[in-house]
Structures are given as C-alpha cells and as structure tokens.
Chain A
Amino acid sequence: MPLALDTSPQTEQDRFSFFSRPNCSLTRTERDRVFWGIATVTLLVASVFSWLGYWLILPFAGIEVGVLAWAFAALGSNAGDYESIRIRGDEILIERRHGGHLESRTLNGKWVKLVLVGARPGGKVKLALRSCGRETELGAYLTDEARLELAKALQTRINAG
C-alpha cells in the first residue's frame, strides 16, 4: 500500500514541507443529510407511539438522537483537522488544527532535538520535536512506518540546517 510522504517544498521559501490530515470521506452536506435521515425516522416512530399514549419511548429516542448529534458534531469539528510542518531557513513551523482549535509553534532549527520512541507492544511509534524543554508530537495521522519515514526525512533536514 502506498505510504509515500509528500515532503517536497510547496513554496520556494520552504526547504521542507509536510502536510497530513485524517481521512474524512463524508462531506458536510452528506453528514447533515445522514443525521437528519436517521433522526427523523427515530423521532417520528417515537412520536407516533407517544400519540397513542405510549410516551416513554420518546425520551429514549431523544437521548439517542442527542448522542447521534454529538457524534456527528464531533465528526464535523474534526473534519478540518490537519498537521503541517514547514522548514524555512532555520525556522521550523509546526501547525496543528484539532477539533476547531488551532495550535502553532515555531522552533529554531538549531535548538531542536528529534525524539523517536520505538513501537511497544500495543503502542505506537512516538515522534516529537523537543525544544526549550517542550515536546511537540508529530505524525498523529500516520502509520508507524510512515512516522519513521517522516523521522528520517526530518532528521536529515534538521542536521542540514
């Protein structure tokens, strides 16, 4: 299966760039359509029974549709997630968006250490950049193999800097 990383510079200033995002095969409209499709049937059925006097089905249907709404909202907020790494001269720019929350950090390439912790049984390979006593984990959406590849690519770029 293809695990190749696209690490070629995207703009002329970048010596290195990496971009990855979780796979998301449902568009926003499709998501809404599916949610309302399910919720309507569930609530309709519960409403008919309530109308017949058997109203205790309705609260359960309500709770369920609530959980469903939460799940679909979570999918939505994660839909824009991404992680990007760019190396521009000595600067390493890390940008991460997670659940609508954007986080970015700029590191100085000279004072950075690459941390790589191997796979443990039941665990993942951990890849991080360490600078000023703070670690930033990378490669959240990658397989172990791809994370190692990314580590290799980063190591050469950091050293070269």
Chain B
Amino acid sequence: MAHDATHAHDDHGHAQPSGIMRWLTTTNHKDIGSLYMWFAGIMFLIAGTMALVIRAELFQPGLQVVDPEFFNQMTTLHGLIMVFGVIMPAWAGFANWQIPLMIGAPDMAFPRMNNWGFWLLPVAGFLLVLTLFMPGGGPAGGWTMYPPLFIQGGISYDLTIFAVHILGASSIMGSINIITTILNMRAPGMTMMKMPLFVWTWLITAYLLIATVPVLAGAVTMLLTDRNFDTHFFNAAGGGDPVMFQHIFWFFGHPEVYILILPAFGVVSQIIPTFARKPLFGYASMVYATASIAILSFIVWAHHMFTVGMPATAQLFFMYSTMLIAVPTGVKVFNWVATMWKGSMTFETPMLFAIAFVCLFTIGGFSGLVCAMTPVDIQIHDTYYVVAHFHYVLVSGALFAIIAGVYYWLPKWTGHMYDERLGKLHFWLSVISMNITFFPMHFLGLAGMPRRYADYALQFAEFNAIASVGAFLFGFSQLIFLYLIIKAIKGGQKATDQVWEGAEGLEWTVPSPAPYHTFETAPVVK
C-alpha cells in the first residue's frame, strides 16, 4: 500500500508548526472544519448557560435570580450567540469537513481565506461575551436590535454592533469559499444534479448569505452612526423611520432563518436514505423545493412585523407569500417519509435524531403556518407562542440536525465509532426534555404571556415551571453529547471506511479517519 511507503520517510519531515501555531495557521479544510465545530460547541455551552439563567428566573413569578436589566441582557446575548455563534459556525464546520469530501475536491478553493474566515469568529465571540463586563452590562435591546431602544444603551451596544460586523465578514468569506469550491472543484462526472443534497443546500445557503449579509452590515452601521454621529436614519425626531430598521433587519433576517435551517434539510436528506437503505425519493424535487424556499425567503420578511401597522394590502401580500412557503416545505417532509416507506430501516442515533427532526420540525412548521395567518399572528405576535415556534424549528430543527450530522460523520472524522448506548440515551433525554421545555410555551403564548418578560402574571406559573424543569434537563443532557465526542476522539471501536451499511457518496470511499489530504487527484464519478 502506498500508505506504508509514505511512513518510511517520516523522519525527514520539515519543521511544521505545532501546538497552537498549527491551528492558528492551518489552511486544511479538515482542521478548519474541526475548529468551527469546537467553537460552536464552546459558544453553545455559553449561550446555553444564559438560557438556563433565563429559565431559572422564570421558574416562578416574581424576581428571584436576576434583575430585569440583566434578564434582558441574557435574552439578547442568548439569541445573538445561538444564531451567529453556534448554529451558523456549526454549519460552516460541516461545510468545511464535508463539502470537499463529498464532491471529490482536495480542499476549499481559498484555503488562506478559509483560515481568516474562521479566526474572525473567536474575536467576535469574545467581544460579545466581553460586553457583559462593560459599564452598564451587555446589550439588552433584544437580538433584533430594534431602535430606538438600541440607541439608548452604553458602550456595550457599540461593541455588539462591531461584533456583528466581524461575524458578517466571516460569513462572507466562508460563503464565497463554499460557492467557489462547490462550483469549481467538483470531480469530473460530479454534475450539479449528482451532488449530494447537503452540498446543494449549502450552495443555496451561501448564496442567501452573500445576498443578505451586506444588508445586515449596513443596518447595524446605520444604528452605529445614529448612536454616535448624529445621523437620523431611524430617529423619527430627525426625519428618520424606526420601522424602516425592522424592514431592513428582517430583509436580512428572514433569509437568515433559512440559512440556519437549509443545511439541516441537507443533512437529514443524507441520513434518512442511508438508514432506510433506499435512495432519496425525489432528489430533483428536493433541490427545486430548496431553491423555492430560498427565493420565497426574500419576499416574506414583513410577516415578522404584522403589528407595526402596515396597510391591509401589504399585510395580505406578506400573509399569502408566507403561506406559500408551506408548499415546498411540505414537499420536503413528504419526500422524507416516502424515502422511509418500504425501506429497510435501522435506528442508530443519527437516524433517531433525523426522525425526531422530521416530526418536530413539522410541528414548528405548523405553528409557523398559524403565525403566518395575519389575524392570528396579531394575537400571538411577541408572545411565547412565537418563542415556542422558533425553538421548535431551531432546537428540534437546526440543532437536532447538527447533532444527527455529528453522530453520522463522527466515525469518518475520528476513525472511531461513538458509544451507541450512550448515544441513544442522549437522544431520548434530549427529545423528551426538548418537548417538556418548548411545548408548554405554545399554551403560554396563546393564554397571553408576552416574550422577553422577566416576570409574569400568576396564571402563567405552572407552564413556566414545567418549561424550566425541561430546560435544565435538556441543558445537562447535552453534556452526554460532549462526553461522547471526546470519548470517540480518544478511542473506541475502529470504524470501517464504509461506516454505515447503506451509506453512499465519495466521503465513504476514503479511509476512516479521513486522511489529512484527500482527493488531490479528483476521483471520477460515474
């Protein structure tokens, strides 16, 4: 084997950066993929702790744990970090590891830019956490940063804006890299309509990022100049319009939520055929559905603002366009179920998480449909119903897909199988506690509990207490996941190259663990 031949020359090695310098200077897509994943993991623990502070305060009515000012800082930073510091970097980690392996490319198209793109993230993450130690504490204006409230705060608000700029720059570099890699570095024979669905979803995600991140950067910059340089973009007293910020923010924000969920669709579309031992039912329709969702995401933004007082025609337009999204999303769910139908299914941990994803994400989709109906939304806008809705699509949606993907590819990354028994325990604890946490929030919202409340009326006490118990259970269950990953890195049962019986795709043709360099000569795809 050629492998052995290379080892014979080991002692002639050049001086290679080691220790921290290796990670700081690495341009290898697998190294950078791992860095993204670890960063996401660390930020998940930080933002998860913030969620537990929130749930601790809301366990009972009255103020017990924190004061309202700090509570608002927690909700703001929890949202910002979970969106920009956890879910997005985790997907970037998957993209770095998997896309070159899946399309038969030796690395990303711009390895140096890849390195910069990653190392901007810890800087931004550090700034966001640092805001908590500034005079007056962290930003407390909500992750949506609506003015004029966001204009009132202190220095930490400027730091937050700066952090968002850095995060945006990182996303842009990542997306340009991903788009060029996917388009230009496919192996011969890997036509667009042969690409694994995960690659397709990331291609569309990267496109959404490139189209919307400048809008976010511009929006927060205008906040910054309104705060510090006496401009009046969003200041009514100076002829500006605070509602316009919401339009601009959500013009970015709605595509952003699909940026968080589209790669999840991709991962689940890889996992279900593997464990059903049956090809994906409608590959082409999945690709078209993903593209339709992306296009629709540009014309639905104002459904986040049905209560700002838009004219009836605008409300109707955004209601109809939002309802339309249910069609391609339905196509996806039907496809997954049809893929399972008459397969030969086994239920390893990745498959369990993928099935939970399909089922629970659909619940989030249904509550999304309820929210899309303008008259109903006006009742439940800014209540816990919305909190329940977006946690169903982001926790049991995006996060569960991330977890499923990690279990699915961990043997390829580390060369070891994870502990299946503990993995199943992690699954059951997560899926049960997730529902205990977020299902009661639907009832809270319908009954009238507004979101971002540090304290609430007595009739909301029971469901809040239940949700808090669930949240702590969910939070601590994730430590099992961390333990499992570390265990698989350190050792365990050797994984085969194929890993899963029903797995198909180029990544399963390379050894486990995947060698440092793969596909320097492109494989030929038939």
A and B touch in the complex (CB under 8 A): yes
> Looking at A25, A34, A49, A146, which has the most chain B CB atoms within 10 Å of its CB?
A25
Q: Which A residues are in CB contact (< 8 Å) with B190? A: 25
Q: List 28 A-B contacts (CB under 8 A).
A: A23-B185, A24-B185, A38-B207, A45-B211, A46-B214, A46-B215, A49-B248, A54-B218, A54-B248, A60-B221, A67-B172, A71-B180, A75-B109, A116-B9, A117-B9, A117-B12, A118-B6, A118-B8, A118-B13, A119-B6, A122-B26, A122-B28, A124-B517, A126-B14, A141-B521, A142-B521, A143-B518, A143-B519
Q: Which of chain A's residues has its CB closest to B225's CB?
A: A56
Do A119 and B218 touch (CB < 8 A)? no
Assembled-state Cα–Cα distance A12/B186 (Å): 34
Q: B166 near A: Cβ within 8 Å?
A: no
A149-B210 contact, Cβ under 8 Å, with A46-B215, A119-B9:
no
A136 to chain B, nearest CB (A): 17
Do A121 and B110 touch (CB < 8 A)? no
Assembled-state Cα–Cα distance A144/B6 (Å): 8
Those of B372-425 within 8 Å (CB) of chain A: none
Do A122 and B183 touch (CB < 8 A)? no
Assembled-state Cα–Cα distance A14/B79 (Å): 65
Do B188 and A58 touch (CB < 8 A)? no
Q: Which of chain B's residues has its CB closest to A53's CB?
A: B233
Those of B4-43 within 8 Å (CB) of chain A: 5-14, 16, 22, 26, 28
Q: Which 4 A-B pairs have the closest CB atoms?
A: A118-B9, A57-B218, A120-B13, A145-B2
Q: Bin the interface of chain A by size.
A: 35 or more
Do A123 and B16 touch (CB < 8 A)? yes
Assembled-state Cα–Cα distance A73/B5 (Å): 39
Q: A103 near B: Cβ within 8 Å?
A: no
Assembled-state Cα–Cα distance A125/B3 (Å): 11
Q: B184 near A: Cβ within 8 Å?
A: yes
A117-B210 contact, Cβ under 8 Å, with A52-B244, A143-B520:
no
Q: B217 near A: Cβ within 8 Å?
A: yes
* In-complex Cβ contact of A56 among B12, B180, B221, B521 (8 A): B221
A88 to chain B, nearest CB (A): 25
A45-B5 contact, Cβ under 8 Å, with A34-B183, A71-B180, A146-B521:
no
Those of B221-269 within 8 Å (CB) of chain A: 221-222, 225, 233, 244, 248, 251
Given contacts A49-B215, A117-B12, 10 further A-B contacts (CB under 8 A): A2-B523, A23-B188, A34-B179, A38-B211, A53-B233, A56-B221, A118-B6, A119-B6, A120-B14, A125-B6
Q: B176 near A: Cβ within 8 Å?
A: yes
A117-B176 contact, Cβ under 8 Å, with A45-B211, A60-B218:
no
Assembled-state Cα–Cα distance A5/B9 (Å): 22
Q: Which of chain A's residues has its CB closest to B177's CB?
A: A71
Those of B491-520 within 8 Å (CB) of chain A: 509-510, 516-520
Interface string of A21-60 (1 = CB under 8 A from B): 0011110001100100010011001100100111011111
Assembled-state Cα–Cα distance A99/B518 (Å): 23
Q: Which B residues are in CB contact (< 8 Å) with A46? A: 214-215, 218
List chain B positions with a Cβ less than 8 A from chain A: 2-3, 5-14, 16, 22, 26, 28, 104-106, 109-110, 113, 168, 172-173, 176-177, 179-180, 183-188, 190, 207, 210-211, 213-215, 217-219, 221-222, 225, 233, 244, 248, 251, 509-510, 516-524
Q: Which of chain B's residues has its CB closest to A117's CB?
A: B12
Do B214 and A67 touch (CB < 8 A)? no
> Looking at A60, A67, A75, A146, which has the most chain B CB atoms within 10 Å of its CB?
A60
Q: A93 near B: Cβ within 8 Å?
A: no
Q: A64 near B: Cβ within 8 Å?
A: yes
Assembled-state Cα–Cα distance A19/B106 (Å): 18
B510 to chain A, nearest CB (A): 8
B2 to chain A, nearest CB (A): 4
Q: Which of chain A's residues has its CB closest to B217's CB?
A: A60
Do A57 and B219 touch (CB < 8 A)? yes
Assembled-state Cα–Cα distance A59/B225 (Å): 14
* In-complex Cβ contact of A24 among B184, B244, B248 (8 A): B184
Do A74 and B110 touch (CB < 8 A)? yes
Do A118 and B244 touch (CB < 8 A)? no
Q: Which A residues are in CB contact (< 8 Å) with B509? A: 1
B23 to chain A, nearest CB (A): 10
Q: Which A residues are in CB contact (< 8 Å) with B109? A: 71, 75
Q: A61 near B: Cβ within 8 Å?
A: yes
Q: Which of chain A's residues has its CB closest to B184's CB?
A: A26
Q: Which of chain B's residues has its CB closest to A25's CB?
A: B186
Assembled-state Cα–Cα distance A68/B176 (Å): 7
Do B183 and A41 touch (CB < 8 A)? no
Do A23 and B9 touch (CB < 8 A)? no
B516 to chain A, nearest CB (A): 6
Those of A79-128 within 8 Å (CB) of chain B: 116-126
Assembled-state Cα–Cα distance A117/B168 (Å): 41
A123-B14 contact, Cβ under 8 Å, with A54-B233, A60-B221, A64-B213:
yes
Do A64 and B519 touch (CB < 8 A)? no
Q: Which of chain A's residues has its CB closest to B109's CB?
A: A75
Assembled-state Cα–Cα distance A37/B453 (Å): 44
Q: A160 near B: Cβ within 8 Å?
A: no
B393 to chain A, nearest CB (A): 25
Q: Which B residues are in CB contact (< 8 Å) with A145? A: 2-3, 6
A42 to chain B, nearest CB (A): 6
